[in-house]
Amino acid sequence: MKIHLKVWRQAGPTAHGQFVNYTAENVSPHMSFLEMLDVVNEGLIRKGQEAIAFDSDCREGICGTCGFMVSGIPHGPEPHTTVCQLHMRKFKDGDALTLEPWRSKGFPVLRDLIVDRSAFDRIIQAGGYTSVNTGGAQDANAILIGRDTAEAAMDSAACIGCGACVAACKNASAALFTSAKITHLSLLPQGQVERGTRVLNMVERMDMEGFGSCSNEGECEAVCPKGISLRNIATMNREYWKAILSS
Amino acid sequence: MTLDSKVPSGPLAEKWDSHKFASKLVNPANRRKHTVIIVGTGLAGASAASSLGELGYNVLSFCIQDSPRRAHSIAAQGGINAAKNYQNDGDSIYRLFYDTIKGGDYRAREANVYRLAQVSVNIIDQCVAQGVPFAREYGGQLDNRSFGGAQVSRTFYARGQTGQQLLLGAYQSMQRQVARGQVKQFPNREMLDLVLINGQARGIIVRNLVTGQLERYVADAVCLATGGYGTAYYLSTNAVGSNVTASWRAHKRGALFANPCFTQIHPTCIPVSGEDQSKLTLMSESLRNDGRVWVPKNTGDKRRAADIPESERDYYLERKYPSFGNLVPRDVASRNAKQVCDEGRGVGETGLAVYLDFKDAIQRLGHDVVAARYGNLFEMYEKITGEDPYTVPMRMYPAIHYAMGGLWVDYNLMSNVPGLHVLGEANFSDHGANRLGASALMQGLADGYFVIPYTLAHYIAGTKVEKVTTDHDAFKEAENSVQDRINKVLAVKGTKTPRELHRQLGRLLWDDVGMARNEAGLKKALATIPKLREEFWQNVAVPGDANNLNKNLEYAGRVADYLEFAELLALDALTRTESCGGHFREESQTPEGEAQRDDAHFSHVSAWEFQGVGKTPTLHKEPLVFEEVHPSQRSYK
Ligand SMILES: Cc1cc2nc3c(=O)[nH]c(=O)nc-3n(C[C@H](O)[C@H](O)[C@H](O)COP(=O)(O)OP(=O)(O)OC[C@H]3O[C@@H](n4cnc5c(N)ncnc54)[C@H](O)[C@@H]3O)c2cc1C
Ligand code: FES
């Protein structure tokens, strides 16, 4: 197959960016999307040109490192799939695709398709944990947790922090990411002690980082590679008001 | 040089307790006067950073990803072992210890392994307290599965995402310490050199991967938790950014590299499909609990799986190993897959695959139960191959997965370089010649949460370090040498990409230093690697410069290190003429074709000392003494 690419090139955080056209030749349907880009890059490098900067690590859809817009959709057209897990068999010969970085105030572009997502770390720093030091934990089976509760917590905990939710949202809201962690911990007995302060601090931090507010568009859920549900945001809002009222 | 393992005396079960008591302590008020560098934020690094931060040390934490949460540990699927015996099925600390020693083919230190089994129970408690959502029974207790050939159910798991949940637990604890100011984190940093002052590890040189600037950091001690070197083989199950660079550069500064030839090949990975493939995807070993492995009885049988009648299928693991069947350890399963493919009985387009079939499991348990157990893995398989494992058997082939070898450490997890500690997959210590499934996560967290807080304190309390800043000459020298190497890479301006060279090296290692090794092949590898290295320095293509984000430059630096390291890997494999665990020397097998150990000559750790690139390193041997278990020929029949 032949794939036509229009790729955002930007040399650095403050540099002026622009789209550049490339053609990926001899694309095999077995390749992943990133392997297709690897091959394009190999061609550029051999010509002495700088490769298109994109990031990836696990290439299995779990680390959350990869991610950019493929023709306007974070991670591309395949539902519940990170771009590293997207395979070229989903495309056809002659397709024209536009590749762009996540666009959000909270995620400044570092180079080409790579953005700075450190804001997510800072949201977790604001309270996305249980305050227990190493050592001295009670026996694990002393805390009984119903299977359904554990499964529901796991549904929220499955977030990979890739940032697709922010990129999809017209407000560039980080509500899905933030609410997933709040929900995970608020469902479990271990998360109860700090339940109120956690939600207040994390929401405050999220706003400080320049992310927009959630207006329930649902785009985030639609593009989330891990299928994190919008219900997390409803939980976060409930937790937030409960905490406000009781503080 | 004599290698002192510092294993405490006394009965095995009491060694760790008495060692902890004998260790020196750092007064709580003094801890903030000590800075510790931790390179790596996988399970080992993140757990160490959070624990040492909680204790009050100043921790500086580094990783190459854009966030510590993305370390390679995140990809672990299957689970984590612990000797909790919650299932009342006969598990105990002693049994986990015994299984690990035996599984490692008697090439690990007894005392380390016993300690690992002891602290395993605390790990689960700690993780649950953090809110790790492990799988539960209906009554609310923790669920367990049997994993990787264990005859007890001691594996804790969180769906197929155990590594993710354990890492997020450790990462969140670490972020809490970042918020408190105890841990300073430096993501997007690659360690490119270790700085020694008066023979002690005192700092590191890193490259800021966003700005390209070199940076210097000084501390009282350095911990490396930088993971394994499986990516030397190019195609592996490891994350594509995993590398040997940090370990290798520490090795070049004097740290001994132990047992590099002990690499693990995982039997169930999705087979290679094309030239441009960048990595191999592991399918969790738990699949072997219900899937049956087979190939056609006849060579060259190209019929579709469904068209091959039962009578013409060879369930070779069940046939050869009746008591373990499909659950034999990884090395045995991998070698047998290679063997049937070498016989011409492999399946799929390339003939380099065996079937893993769920037909019987679906019949026995029903579609829904199988979906509940393995649904996400089946989905992943379908995404990659386009085939539906509910109706067509999976195709599997072994791939490089894990490094048992690593930097040599003593019982305190300290290398031979004073102050340089090594944690997790980066060290060599606990898995001998073969690691059991679900034991790497256990070891990473054991090292970080429960061992290093004690042993590092002992080092700090008992060691005088000179007060220095990063202006010290040793920092200048190290930074200059890093800068020179970067300049040298950029100056080549050749025509071959780092990926092409890496792929070439990988193929060579896979063919000659892979699943089965022999003298001729290893000698061939040793003759070829230096030529490839020369080609790199003559012809590598790295456009752009060093003053910004340049992925290709990062990659080239790592490939340059693989090209040096690979020689050590092959040499170690050549020197160890016995077979043991994952290291199979064709010259050393039993009449049935199983690995034949040679305890008389090889019951030791091979620790190599660097003498210069292309120069033969010096071999130091640490004898392995077995006081508790009696090494026997492993048998899974
Ligand atoms: C697909 C897969 C599945 C697995 N499943 C299981 C399982 O079910 N159970 C089990 O027990 N084990 C499993 N393993 C093995 C296990 O995941 C690893 O052995 C373990 O996670 C390693 O942890 P670590 O902390 O030592 O290193 P890693 O998690 O590899 O972390 C390395 C860290 O070092 C950093 N780093 C590396 N180089 C540098 C450098 N030069 N400078 C700065 N930082 C650097 C990285 O950024 C990273 O933070 C699996 C492995 C794979 C590949
Ligand atoms: S590279 Fe890890 S999720 Fe895509």
* Phi/psi of residue B211, nearest 5 degrees: -95, -20
Give dist(CA A147, CA A153) in Å, integer.
10
Chain segment B478-532, per-residue pLDDT in tens: 999 999 999 999 999 999 999 999 999 999 999 999 999 999 999 999 999 999 9
CB contact under 8 A, B131 and A144: no
Q: Considering chain B, what percentage of its residues have pLDDT values greater than 70?
A: 100
Chain segment B457-470, per-residue pLDDT in tens: 999 999 999 999 99
Closest CA to B396 of B347, B337, B353: B353
What was the pLDDT predicted at B373?
Answer: 82
What was the pLDDT predicted at B383?
Answer: 87
Q: Is B469 exposed, middle or buried (0-12, 13-18, 19+ CB in 10 A)?
A: exposed
- Whether pTM > 0.90 for this model: the answer is yes
Substitution target from A36, A45, A144 for chain B, most B beta carbons within 10 A = A45
- Radius of gyration, alpha carbons of chain B: 24
Q: Is the pLDDT of residue B274 over 90?
A: no
Q: Side chain identity at B47, as an amino acid letter? A: S
The token pair at B445 is: 């967290």
Average pLDDT of every residue of chain B: 96
ipTM confidence score:
0.98
pLDDT band, very low/low/confident/very high, at B330 (cuts 50, 70, 90): confident
CB contact under 8 A, A130 and B126: no
What was the pLDDT predicted at B593?
Answer: 82
Nearest CA in chain A to B73: A63
Which atom of ligand 1 is least distant from the CA of B41? 49
Cβ contact B157:B134 at 8 Å: yes
Please give the distance of CA A182 from its chain centroid, rounded to a whole number: 16
DSSP B290-313: T-EEEEESSTT--S-GGGS-GGGE
Chain segment B398-440, per-residue pLDDT in tens: 999 999 999 999 999 999 999 999 999 999 999 999 999 999 9
CB contact under 8 A, B75 and A63: yes
- Any ligand 2 atom below 6 A from CB of A59: yes
Residue B159: list chain A partners with CB under 8 A.
Answer: 154, 158
Q: Is the pLDDT of residue B635 over 80?
A: no
What was the pLDDT predicted at A80?
Answer: 95
Query: Which three-class secondary structure state does DSSP give residue B584?
Result: coil
Q: Which domains does chain A carry? A: 3-100 (3.10.20.30), 118-132+146-246 (1.10.1060.10)
Residue A143: list chain B partners with CB under 8 A.
Answer: 128
pLDDT band, very low/low/confident/very high, at B592 (cuts 50, 70, 90): confident
Q: What is the DSSP letter of B272?
A: P
The token pair at B106 is: 């008697």
Mean pLDDT for B551-555 is 98
Q: Is the pLDDT of residue A235 over 80?
A: yes
Chain segment A96-153, per-residue pLDDT in tens: 999 999 999 999 999 999 999 999 999 999 999 999 999 999 999 999 999 999 999 9
Q: Which domains does chain B carry? A: 12-262+404-461 (3.50.50.60), 268-399 (3.90.700.10), 493-598 (1.20.58.100)
Ligand nearest to the CA of B45: 1
Any bridge partners for residue B396, and if so which?
A: B354
pLDDT band, very low/low/confident/very high, at A16 (cuts 50, 70, 90): very high
Compute the CA torsion angle A57, A61, A67, A73 (nearest 10 deg).
Answer: 160
Q: Is the pLDDT of residue A15 over 80?
A: yes
CB-nearest partner of B497 from A42, A116, A120: A42
Crossing angle for the helix pair B110-130 and B162-180, to the nearest 10 degrees: 70
Closest CA to A110 of B210, B550, B187, B186: B210
pLDDT band, very low/low/confident/very high, at B622 (cuts 50, 70, 90): very high
- Any ligand 2 atom below 6 A from CB of A34: no
Query: Which three-class secondary structure state does DSSP give residue A20?
Result: strand
Query: Which three-class secondary structure state does DSSP give residue B582?
Result: coil
What is the DSSP pairing of strand B189-197 with strand B183-186?
unpaired
